[in-house]
Structure 1
Amino acid sequence: MEFYENRPRQPFIGFVQLRRALKRWWLRKRACQALRRMSDEQLKDIRLERKDVE
């Protein structure tokens, strides 16, 4: 039996899913922080209001 035939197909799928979830959370957190730092005029330019951000 060859080496590649005896390997599981996706041995670390749990780690991959965990990494993807953490990356999504981190990116969402960064986006929220950036929106909170924006002034009301800047938010108005992208058609958001302060209440939408918080």
Structure 2
Amino acid sequence: MEFDQNRAAKPFNITLLDIFRAVRQLVKSWHLRRQTRRILSHLSDTQLRDIGLTRGDIDRRS
């Protein structure tokens, strides 16, 4: 086995596009969590209890 065959092709090759995609994914997941919290906060305590949550769980689980 040659020396070059035992090495990774491109170790830690992170491009600007990869960073952009990661940031975009973080923003997207943050937005979805925020939207979910907003929707849940508009439910009544009875509706929250029906789905197994309390008002305090809304911020804790996000």
Q: CA RMSD in A?
A: 1.4
The secondary structure found in structure 1 opposite 2:56 is helix
**Aligned-pair CA distance for 1:11:** 5.2
TM-score when scaled to structure 1?
0.73
Counterpart of 2:30?
A: 25
- 5+ residue gaps, structure 2, are 1-14
Task: Please say which structure displays the higher CA radius of gyration.
Answer: 2
- Unaligned 5+ segments in structure 1 are 1-9
Change (3 A) 1:44 1:13: same
Moved over 6 A (4+): none
Residues 12-43 of structure 1 show CA distances to partners (whole Å, capped at 9, x for unaligned) of 11110010000000000000001100001110
